[in-house]
A and B are shown apart, each in its own frame.
Chain A
Amino acid sequence: MPGKLKVKIVAGRHLPVMDRASDLTDAFVEVKFGNTTFKTDVFPKSLNPQWNSEWFKFEVDDEDLQDEPLQVTVLDHDTYSANDAIGKVYIDIDPLLCSEAASVISGWFPIYDTIHGIRGEINVLVKVELFNDLNRFRQSSCGVKFFCTTSIPRCYRAAMVHGFVEELVVNEDPEYQWIDRIRSPRASNEARQRLISLMSGELQRKIGLKVLEMGGNAVVGYLQCFDLEGESGLVVRAIGTACTLDKLSSGSAPNTNTHMHPNTAPASNACNSPSKDGKEPVFGEDLTSSSGPPTPFRALPTTSSSPPPFSPSKPCSRQSSSSDTDLSLTPKTGMGSGGSVGKEAGPLKTLLRQQTQTALEQREFPFFTLTSFPPGFLLHVGGVVSARSVKLLDRIHNPDEPETRDAWWEEIRQEIKSHAKALGCHGVVGYSESTSICEEVCILSASGTAAILNPRYMREGCLDIGITDHRFEEPSPPSCGFCHIPYDELNMPFPAQLTYCYHCRRQKVPDVLFTTINLPQEAAVTGKGCLIQARLCRLKKKAQGEVNATAISNLLPFMEYELHTQLMNKLKLRSMNALFGLHIQISVGENMLLGLASATGVYLTALPAPGGIQIAGKTPGDLSNEHHILTIQKRINDTIAKNKELYQINPPELTEEVVGSPIPEPRQRSRLFRSHSESSDELSELDLSHGKKDAFVLEIDDTDAVEDIHSLLTDAPTPTGFYSCNTEIMPGIYSWTSGVQMFTSVRVFRLSNANLTNQGLNKIFTDLCENLLKSFYFKLRSMIPCCLCQLNFAVAVPEEELIQVAVTAVAMTFDKDQAQEKPADKSTTKGGSETEEQLQFPMELCADASSANTQPSSKISVSSLEHCSPLPEGRSRSLRSNRSFRGSPVTVVKMTPLSFLPGTRIIKYLGIINMFFIRETTSLREEGGVSGFLHTFIAEVFAMVRAHVAALGGNAVVSYSMKECMLMENPNKNQAQCLINVSGDAVICVRETDQEPNPSMANIGQTCASGTDGAT
């Protein structure tokens, strides 16, 4: 009996009227945990009942504590008929099981009903007493900390990074059980909510066990997803990175040193050579590698439909295509990354490799869900690796052994691993997995960034500061080291053009780099970054089963190819050379596939300047056509010039003799390694029509191509004062102020025209995304200068003729004058600003609610007094003085998809927030149509998240994300249903200016602890 859960029901407020006759409610509360239920007394005839109940005590296993949610149901007592439920509150008590997280849950929770939404609030107090459990074979994993944050959480230090953990749990979906035919929608929704809550508890516990087995104490970058597979069941799966975290005594950033290992390899590195075709000419067009990342065209024959071994009854077609880098037509555009090939350091690289290898190869999957890393963790980045597979869903017969789903993912992960290997990398970072389901077809996707990691973090005992390996000198500075190619120059996995690093001049870099991670803090960047999106629609014939799956499989590589071409073109159009945070989503609908690739483009100083874009016509004789091409060419050149100015891309020119010298001499311009690749801000230089070889050539041979180019140019530039990116922070902006506005926006577009072309669809889809962005800029115009960060687009095809786009992002203000300069102490205050804050960030509104309220309102009353108040001064003053707002105040809870809040310091992580809600209505029109319905629901979800965080004693949610937003509507029946899943980390943060970081560690530890006590 290793735990005692204690619950007290204090009071309710704003309850709905349940008795029409008296306009009041006779409310009581049922508290349920596992199979035990307690009830409070009925508090008669009140909308603000004060139950003040005794402590209800549940004695339970810690296994149950982890799995089960606490269920609080508010009911209206009825003497003659059945009691009516008002609503429920599910409280996840997991945060209480970890000594370092919250110690008590206490606060007002919205009472939620799946049909009526929020109906009043209830004040609940929850405590847990845990007894020590010495059983070595226990099933629980209490004490393992979970973080959604995809970096080492602030105020912790990674003592060791153990690696990938994954788990999935399968069950039948209550919505599809036979009993659903006879029970009410409410009962069905609640059964589903409860089941998912249980399943995610179980999943978390199981992952926790794996972490304990590995010797870790935390999961970072925890990503949990639901697959609602309909008839065939409900899958809850999660991945994460197991770590051993040490709490820092100070609240400052992890104090890891930045020693780097050299990375050089001999040409004969068997295990890393991508394939046996290594002898092929590197720049040859006919590179065919079996394990390396092939172009999709070649991927087709090699990896097409082979039925997976685990579902022999229903053969599934399978398609995987690697989406890494070399997908453009011209051979010049490899987008891998550079590797260091210093001759003298050759053998050392092997040594290092082998070391790392042994550390990593003990693991099945050397994957990391992290996207930001401690300095020095990431040595080299190879490029994006991704794999997709189309599966036919099949009823899960035995939920206890979800082998099929496990096997599917296993297969995909193996593929990712092999792709990474082909890129000469032993690890994959920024790894994520996703699915898209339509009827019985499911696309499984995984992607990440192949990389070479510092083994220091993987080995026990090597991390302590000062014990770093000093055997190797540091060949690559941190600001460019990660760009250097990890693979062997002579055995390149794909055609790419290598040059010496423009930053250190010592090692080779590719001309373009694509990654799924955040821009490393220490990276050298020129100018600012921007959001780059590639959007694509492809029509598909309606089909069933296997035929359908094959059709989708066949379409996928084309889509990936086109998305990459688009990305590449747009990148060049912005005169940038690298993409970070690349996320490619492909959604399947009944009659179309949607592809959306988002990334943040940036100009890495270490990489060569991109060439321009050159338009070429197929028929040179046609004069009018030629003229047309010239106009387009001019427009493109103008756009590039404009973009350079907009994003302040003025790369320093390089001088002839400066091999190894970082000092640029701007006046003297001469080309060094690749005369043709240099581009400058002068327009004449951009005139690519006279034979500049490096220019990216686009051929216009049909109307499609014209359309493509037009779509290239139609991306509206962001309005002045705005920047946008889909990474954590905007490259090039370092002086954030404290203005933060997180938002979620959803749009659904109905295609009325049945016979649309691909082109038409593309345009609609592009416009939809562009208009959404425009709307954001308009809505947030009061925050200028500001930047939209972590713009996360999620597309879906909920019905045959609907396209749904859901966006969650945060707008953050920054100081325009300081935007250019990187703060000196960049390692500790990433994105933080020392500037005085203009906006307030009160820990709690209530503390000074009256004073805060009085100020603005008294101003108002004074002004109105001047106009028309009939009251003499004395009297009105007496009125004003004792005016204050009553009632318990509401804690302000900030939310952000980022791992930090600018201008603040996180002093405590209170636990993970992982909530799943269903909302249904049978009076859609009355609630303002689908928009009204969803608007209310999203607001309710926010409110519930905030309430839970506040009850844990927190004042912010970081790494917030909306994993799922599934809307089903039937306007004819006046019905709609929506499912939303959100997650994040509840934290306490304080203003940076409140507690000046003190050099003395011990001192800070104390202040930190006291601050924490005060807040909880």
Chain B
Amino acid sequence: MAVELDVFVGNTTIMDEEVYQLWLDGYTVNDAVKVRMEGGVMEECEASADVLLSDTMDQYRTFQMCERLLHSPSKLANQLLFQIPPNRQAMLIERYYAFDDAFVREVLGKKLSKGTKKDLDDIGAKTGVTLKSCRRQFDNFKRVFKVVEELKGPLVENIPPIMRLLLISGIMLPLFFFANHRFETGKRKLQYLTFQDFAFCAGQLISNWTVGAVDNMVEDMDVDLDKEFLQELKELKVLITDKDLLDQHKSLVCTALRGKTKAFNEMEANFKNLSRGLVNIAAKLTNTKDVRDFFIDLVEKFIEPCRSDRWTAADMRLYLTHYNNSAHILDTFKHQAVWDRYMVVIKSCIFKMYHD
């Protein structure tokens, strides 16, 4: 004796957000039922386990039927099969295209190819994200990436509205940006950084170093770095090649810092090294290869030395602020604008990446 068929169809499609999340997270029906039981829905409505199972299966089926539509979100708004209120549609899409930070961290900067798909198993094992969820997130990533790549002209005008929602949701853009520039993120030394760290840095780079960043009138979401700017960065080399300038810079910074921090001695001793590190990173950015190594360079050339000297985050802040400001006082240094545009990103990236 068994229930052979059990369906419930509402004129307005009924979707439970909690069950949707469980489905997205790749729970099986039975596991989802268990989670829901523990969540206490049953007491809420005097339901039995059977009722819960039937409801969960029903909802899973609905989601599966909807999934096809979610793959091309613009269809969801004008399809006729399901009557879903607009705010629910938005919820469905937003959740469907949401990413687990742990997962994204793993995929970050990886080449989007079938090869990576085979690695999904590994990622799943490493992050604790179910394979089903990994696959969905990965497919979403590719889907959005494909749409964005095929677009010509300014992104804002051409991007489907749903994608736009995703882009500004804070995940797609960094992902896209990282994939586009193939930033190295997987090295052991970078493992301590979370996706949030990278997402923040990507945001800084996009808003300060891309073409669109300078001219706000250009409604362009092109995420290529401003070539001209990168070229100009080479001029900063004067800060380390000109001996006088370097000494002058050092003394200005040291004067400002003296007595304000316990790490003063280390700062003074390391000034030239650190400054060389940062300026060299700037000078090399014209090379795509070196752009890729941007983060690893920041860690190796700056963060690691500071950490070994046991700087606190406050020390870091103090040092970089004065390092940046002091350059303005240098008489012979003419590249103030470029310097600021460079340092604003470096500062905020390092602040974010420097974990105590």
Contact = CB atoms under 8 A, between A and B. Distances in A.
A986 interface: no
Nearest to B171: A868
Given A871-B207, A932-B61, A746 B5 contact: yes
Nearest to A895: B11
Nearest to A803: B4
Given A750-B4, A882-B156, A857 B62 contact: no
A472 interface: no
B168 A856 contact: no
A887 B74 contact: yes
Interface in A730-772: 741-753, 764, 771
Nearest to A976: B5
A771 B51 contact: yes
B2 A864 contact: no
A749 B4 contact: yes
A852 interface: yes
Interface string B151-168: 000001000111011011
A888 B78 contact: yes
B94 A939 contact: no
B168 A938 contact: no
B318 interface: no
Interface residues of A, number: 84
Given A747-B3, A888-B78, A870 B169 contact: no
A824 interface: no
Contact of B170 (A719, A764, A852, A868): A868
A542 interface: no
B255 interface: no
A943 B50 CA distance: 29
A745 B52 contact: no
B177 to A, nearest CB: 9
B75 A745 contact: no
Interface residues of B, number: 70
A870 B9 contact: no
Nearest to B14: A779
A742 B10 CA distance: 6
A943 B77 CA distance: 14
Interface in B165-207: 165, 167-171, 173-174, 196, 199-204, 206-207
Interface string B1-31: 1111111111111100000000000000000
B202 A931 contact: no
Nearest to B87: A856
Nearest to B75: A14
A871 B168 contact: yes
Output the residue of B4, B52, B90, B174 with the most chain A CB within 10 A.
B4
B125 interface: no
A110 interface: yes
A845 B88 CA distance: 13
Contacts of A869: 168-170, 203
Contact of B80 (A108, A781, A932): A108
Contacts of A753: 1
Nearest to B69: A14
Given A870-B204, A931-B7, A939-B9, A777 B77 contact: no
B160 to A, nearest CB: 8
Nearest to A810: B11
B54 interface: yes
Interface in A861-897: 861, 864-865, 867-872, 874-876, 878-880, 882-890, 892-895
Contacts of A776: 8
Output the residue of B1, B164, B204 with the most chain A CB within 10 A.
B1
Contacts of B203: 869-872
A774 B51 contact: yes
A725 interface: no
A935 interface: yes
A946 B167 contact: no
Contacts of A886: 74, 77, 160-161
Given A749-B3, A868-B196, A888-B78, A860 B94 contact: yes
A121 interface: yes
B199 A870 contact: yes
Interface in B123-172: 156, 160-162, 164-165, 167-171
B197 to A, nearest CB: 10
B202 A870 contact: yes
A743 B5 contact: no
Contact of B164 (A719, A746, A802, A879): A879
Interface in A763-809: 764, 771, 774-781, 802, 804
Nearest to B196: A868
A931 B57 contact: yes
Contact of A778 (B2, B9, B55, B216): B55
B86 A845 contact: yes
Given A747-B6, A860-B90, A870 B165 contact: no
Interface string B35-74: 0000000001111101110110110011011000000001
B308 interface: no
Nearest to A739: B12
Interface in A905-959: 928-932, 934-936, 938-940, 942-943, 946-947
Contacts of A890: 77-80, 83
A874 B212 CA distance: 12
A775 B54 contact: yes
Nearest to B169: A864
Contacts of B14: 741, 743, 779-780
A118 interface: yes
A208 B207 CA distance: 72
A853 B4 contact: no
B207 A870 contact: yes
A865 B169 CA distance: 7
A856 B167 CA distance: 17
A887 B207 contact: no
B10 A741 contact: yes
Given A779-B14, A857-B94, A861-B169, A928 B80 contact: no
A849 B86 contact: yes
B3 A870 contact: no
Contacts of A861: 165, 168-169
B64 A745 contact: no
B49 to A, nearest CB: 11
Contacts of A13: 78
- Top 5 nearest A-B pairs by Cβ distance? A870-B203, A748-B5, A856-B87, A869-B170, A887-B78
Given A13-B78, A869-B168, A943-B80, 16 more contacts: A747-B3, A749-B2, A779-B10, A856-B86, A865-B170, A868-B196, A870-B206, A871-B207, A879-B168, A880-B168, A884-B161, A887-B78, A936-B65, A943-B83, A946-B83, A967-B5
Interface of A: 13-14, 108, 110, 118, 121, 719, 741-753, 764, 771, 774-781, 802, 804, 845, 849, 852-853, 855-857, 860-861, 864-865, 867-872, 874-876, 878-880, 882-890, 892-895, 928-932, 934-936, 938-940, 942-943, 946-947, 967
12 contacts: A741-B11, A745-B7, A746-B7, A776-B8, A860-B90, A861-B169, A865-B168, A875-B207, A939-B13, A939-B82, A942-B83, A943-B81
